[in-house]
């Protein structure tokens, strides 16, 4: 399996160069920004000039391709040119998926108001708003569908200078919310695409399960339980009114939420809280509190499998897999169905087979 790094201008996606890459690792997820890191060998002055001309942090798009298939795409944010004695040189490159542009580098610099709008339309409008600013369009396609049928009221005020992506994250994290990511791929004609992908209530891809077996394609299987972030009582804190600077002011608080059935069943009370400093509406804050409690009320079960990748590549993020496991914990075998919410890829190198960690969610 041969990997190349396509280096393109971020705003136009014009191809600048095709570079070899070694020691590469990359990951991608629903709900957080994915990353890529790797090393470009620099054996001579010709390659040194190519690297200097092509790798421009902050304005370069990276496409990692295996043969002709896009495996990962994002934005180059860091590069390090390394030179040691005896003429050896290389360049280390690091990037993050396109969500990083909106989460970390774009702010709402106007007051925006949405009244009774579908929550997915609000997310689309925020991406469109960011790309409409001079110099702000990085080629993210924004399809008009789907819709969720869930209407929201939101006001984003200019003086908050809020990050666009983080406001979408907050909107998605409310009760009855949604998921979003930037999906990057190459179509049948070879054209590259970066598309806003929305899913209500979840992103689901494909109509059939990918079957993975152990023994077989699965190298290892882990299933951990993490109660360190568990909570069965919750309160959310919102904005602090400050209309009278001479008077004391206190943040808006949601109505405390508890789970009496848990306490009756023997669980200890475990308090949790969250901050939404831009939320001024009590109903919206209560929705955040309810969604946060629902996520934290039980120990988080995080299944993870490591697989040998095949010629068909990785299961798509949002697709479903069926695991068939026979091991010491399950000597008679189990079959479980999960959704792929992320992966981390380590390509084949120096005799090491290519493998990937899949991050899964119970469905």
> Measured between alpha carbons, how far is 287 from 295 in angstroms, rounded to an integer?
13
Average pLDDT over residues 225-242: 89
Q: Is the same domain home to 339 and 220?
A: yes
Q: Is the same domain home to 9 and 110?
A: no
Q: Is the same domain home to 314 and 286?
A: no
Q: How confident is the model at residue 249 (pLDDT cuts 50, 70, 90)?
A: confident
Percentage of the residues of the chain whose pLDDT score is greater than 90 = 77
8: pLDDT strictly greater than 90: yes
Average pLDDT over residues 28-52: 95
Q: Is the same domain home to 218 and 307?
A: yes
Question: What are the pLDDT digits (tens) for 282-302?
Answer: 999 999 999 999 989 987 777
Is 205 within the bounds of a domain?
no
Is 270 within the bounds of a domain?
yes
Please report the pLDDT score of residue 311 as a whole number. 67
Percentage of the residues of the chain whose pLDDT score is greater than 70 = 97
Please report the pLDDT score of residue 326 as a whole number. 92
Question: What are the pLDDT digits (tens) for 64-105?
Answer: 998 888 999 999 999 999 998 777 899 999 999 999 999 999
Please report the pLDDT score of residue 184 as a whole number. 96
- Please identify, among 72, 97, 122, the residue that sits at the C-terminal boundary of a domain: 97
CA neighbor of 288 nearest in space, from 340, 239, 246: 239
Q: Is the same domain home to 129 and 166?
A: yes
Q: Is the same domain home to 273 and 337?
A: no
Q: Is the same domain home to 106 and 42?
A: no
Please report the pLDDT score of residue 1 as a whole number. 64
Q: Is the same domain home to 218 and 313?
A: yes
245: pLDDT strictly greater than 60: no
Please report the pLDDT score of residue 304 as a whole number. 86
Is 304 within the bounds of a domain?
yes
- Please identify, among 272, 296, 320, the residue that sits at the C-terminal boundary of a domain: 296
Domain of 343, CATH number, reads 2.30.300.10
> Measured between alpha carbons, how far is 291 from 278 in angstroms, rounded to an integer?
17
Number of domains in the chain: 4
Is 204 within the bounds of a domain?
no
Is 348 within the bounds of a domain?
yes
Give the C-alpha distances (Å, rounded to integers) separating 88 from 42, 48, 92, 290, 363. Answer: 8, 11, 13, 57, 50
Average pLDDT over residues 249-262: 93
pTM of the predicted model as reported, rounded to 2 decimal places: 0.87
Average pLDDT over residues 208-218: 92
Please report the pLDDT score of residue 54 as a whole number. 95
Domain of 121, CATH number, reads 3.55.50
Is 177 within the bounds of a domain?
yes
Is 158 within the bounds of a domain?
yes
Q: Is the same domain home to 18 and 119?
A: no
Q: Reduce the DSSP state of residue 302 to 3 states and report it.
A: strand
Q: Is the same domain home to 29 and 89?
A: yes
Question: What are the pLDDT digits (tens) for 348-357?
Answer: 777 778 899 9
Query: What is the domain extent for residue 267?
Result: 233-296
The per-residue b/e assignment along 171-183, b for 16 or more CB within 10 angstroms, e otherwise, is bbbbeebbbbbbb
Q: Is the same domain home to 163 and 274?
A: no
User: What are the DSSP calls for 321-354, one per residue?
Assistant: EEEEE-SSS-TT-EEEEEEEEEEEEE--BTTBPP
- Please identify, among 97, 128, 146, the residue that sits at the C-terminal boundary of a domain: 97
Q: Is the same domain home to 216 and 357?
A: yes
Question: What are the pLDDT digits (tens) for 150-182?
Answer: 999 999 999 989 999 999 999 999 989 999 999
> Measured between alpha carbons, how far is 338 from 319 in angstroms, rounded to an integer?
9
């Amino acid at each position: 399996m041969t990997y190349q790094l396509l280096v393109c201008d971020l705003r136009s996606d014009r191809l600048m160069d095709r570079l070899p890459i070694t020691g590469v690792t990359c990951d991608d997820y629903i709900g957080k920004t994915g990353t890529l890191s790797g090393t470009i060998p620099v054996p001579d002055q010709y390659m040194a000039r190519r690297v200097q001309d092509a790798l421009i942090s902050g304005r370069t798009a990276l496409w990692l391709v295996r043969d002709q298939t896009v495996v990962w795409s994002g934005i180059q944010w860091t590069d390090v040119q390394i030179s040691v004695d005896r003429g050896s040189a290389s360049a280390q490159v690091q990037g993050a998926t396109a969500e990083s542009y909106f989460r970390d580098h774009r702010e709402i610099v106007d007051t925006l108001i949405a009244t009774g709008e579908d929550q997915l339309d609000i997310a689309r409008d925020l991406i469109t708003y960011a790309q409409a600013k001079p110099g702000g369009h990085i080629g993210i396609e924004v399809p008009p569908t789907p819709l969720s049928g869930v209407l929201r009221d939101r006001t984003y005020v200019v003086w908050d200078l809020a990050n666009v992506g983080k406001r979408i994250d907050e909107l998605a994290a409310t009760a009855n919310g949604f998921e979003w990511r930037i999906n990057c791929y190459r179509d049948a004609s070879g054209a590259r695409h970066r598309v806003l992908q929305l899913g209500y209530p979840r992103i689901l891809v494909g109509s059939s399960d990918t079957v993975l077996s152990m023994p077989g394609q699965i190298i290892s299987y882990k299933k951990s339980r993490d109660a360190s972030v568990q909570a069965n009582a919750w309160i959310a804190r919102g904005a602090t009114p400050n209309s009278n600077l001479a008077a004391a002011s206190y943040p808006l608080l949601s109505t405390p939420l508890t789970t009496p059935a848990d306490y009756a069943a023997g669980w200890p009370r475990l308090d949790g809280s969250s901050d939404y400093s831009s939320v001024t509406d009590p109903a919206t804050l209560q929705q955040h509190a309810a969604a946060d409690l629902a996520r934290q009320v039980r120990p988080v079960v995080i299944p993870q499998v490591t697989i040998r990748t095949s010629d068909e590549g990785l299961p798509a993020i949002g697709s479903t897999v069926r695991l068939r496991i026979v091991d010491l914990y399950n000597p008679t075998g189990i079959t479980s169905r999960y959704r792929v919410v992320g992966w981390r890829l380590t390509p084949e190198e120096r005799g090491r087979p290519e493998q990937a960690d899949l991050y899964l969610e119970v469905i």
